A and B are shown apart, each in its own frame.
Chain A
Amino acid sequence: MTETQAGIQAAEEMAAVEERSVDSAVSLRGITKRFDDVVAVDNVNLDIADGEFFALLGPSGCGKTTTLRMIAGLEFPTEGSLTIFGDEVGTLPPNKRPVNTVFQNYALFPHMSVLDNVTFGLRMQGVSKSEAKQRATDAIAMVQLEGREQRKPSQLSGGQQQRVALARALVNRPKVLLLDEPLGALDLKLRQQMQGELKSLQRELGITFVFVTHDQEEALTMSDRIAVMNEGLLLQVSDPESLYERPVNRFVADFIGQTNLLDATAEADNTVCLANGVRVAVDHDLAIGTKLALCLRPERASVVADADGDAAQTTAGHYLPGVVKRVTYLGTDRIYDVALDWMELEVREGNRPGSGRFVEGDRVNVIWEPDSVAVVPDDGSSTGADRS
Chain B
Amino acid sequence: MTAVAERIDEPVGVADVERQAARERRRRGFLLALPAYAYLVFFFALPLVAVGVFSFATRNRFGGVDLAEWNLDSYRKLGEDIVFDILLRSFSLALLTTAICLVLAYPFAYFIATRSETVRNVMLVFVLIPFWTNFLVRNYAWRLLLGNDGPVSQVSQLLGLGEVRILFTPLAVVIGLVYSFLPFMILPLYAAIERIDWRLVEASRDLYATGRQSWTKVVFPLSMPGVIAGSILVFVPSLGAYVTPEILGGAKTTLLGSYIVSQFLTARNWPAGAALSMVLLTVMLMTTIIYFRSGGRNL
Contact = CB atoms under 8 A, between A and B. Distances in A.
Task: Tell me if chain B binds chain A.
Answer: yes
B208 A124 contact: yes
Interface stretch (A81-89, A95-103, A357-365): A95-103
Contacts, number: 59
Interface stretch (A21-29, A104-112, A367-375): A104-112
Contacts of B199: 103, 105, 107
Interface string B178-205: 0000000000000000000101101111
Interface stretch (B36-44, B148-156, B209-217): B209-217
Interface in B33-66: none
B96 interface: no
Contacts of A72: 206
A101 B206 contact: yes
Interface string A57-95: 000000000000000111000000000000000000111
Interface in A104-136: 105, 107-111, 120-121, 124-125
Nearest to A180: B199
B203 A107 contact: yes
A121 B208 contact: yes
Contacts of B208: 95, 121, 124-125, 172
Classify chain A: how many residues form its interface, as a range.
20 to 34
B222 interface: yes
A152 to B, nearest CB: 12
Contact of A172 (B207, B211, B213, B218): B207
Interface residues of B, number: 18
A4 to B, nearest CB: 31
Nearest to B217: A120
Contact of A120 (B207, B221, B222): B207
Nearest to A171: B207
B222 A94 contact: no
A111 B294 CA distance: 13
A348 interface: no
B154 to A, nearest CB: 48
Given A121-B207, A172-B207, A107 B213 contact: no
Contacts of B213: 124
Contacts of B206: 72-74, 94-95, 99-101, 169
A100 B221 contact: no
A109 B202 contact: no
A108 B207 CA distance: 11
A109 B209 CA distance: 13
Nearest to B197: A107
A124 B209 contact: yes
A107 B197 CA distance: 8
A33 interface: no
Interface string A182-224: 0000000000000000000000000000000000000000000
Given A109-B218, A124-B213, A103 B207 contact: no
Interface centre among A103, A111, A124 (most CB of B within 10 A): A124
A168 interface: yes
Contacts of B202: 74, 94, 103, 107
Q: Nearest 8 CB-CB pairs, A to B?
A: A121-B207, A107-B203, A124-B208, A94-B205, A107-B199, A95-B208, A124-B209, A101-B206
Given A107-B202, A110-B200, A124-B208, 13 more contacts: A73-B206, A94-B205, A99-B206, A101-B203, A103-B202, A108-B203, A109-B200, A109-B203, A120-B204, A120-B207, A169-B207, A172-B207, A172-B208
Interface of B: 197, 199-200, 202-211, 213, 217-218, 221-222
24 contacts: A72-B206, A73-B205, A73-B206, A94-B206, A95-B205, A95-B206, A95-B207, A100-B206, A100-B207, A101-B206, A105-B199, A109-B200, A109-B217, A110-B200, A110-B222, A111-B221, A120-B204, A120-B207, A120-B217, A121-B207, A121-B208, A124-B204, A125-B208, A169-B206
